[in-house]
Structure 1
């Protein structure tokens, strides 16, 4: 079962409350998304850890209900 973009955004914001999240459905199939996540909590963290934080926020849905997520993360620009 595919995930809705609003559910992906909700889970990320629940797990990373200060995050600005932009979700794009890449194929229109509800199964392949891109996410841009900007959060001050990413400041000073390597990109791998930033991505891990987003995957943790998705509560195990990655690879299950959510098939593919092209992920970009960053701390806010000063």
Structure 2
């Protein structure tokens, strides 16, 4: 049971890290043009998440989408 909780937490962190990088790649308060190269780097946690979760990816895809929109509203 403990292993499932750790795995869920790691998957959630991957979704959060990818969402942060993707949100920073768009124009924001830190950089008016955005850090466009971060969009490509943000795909790395995204693909790792797909590889780790397989069919359960839809759940973490929703987390990724929600976190990105929240962060985009904060930074953008």
Normalising by the smaller structure, the TM-score range is 0.3 to 0.5
Query: Normalization by structure 2: what TM-score?
Result: 0.34
More helix by share: 2
**Higher RCO (CA 8 Å, separation ≥ 6 residues):** 2
Computing the radius of gyration from Cα coordinates, the structure with the larger value is 2
More strand by share: 1
Query: Normalization by structure 1: what TM-score?
Result: 0.33
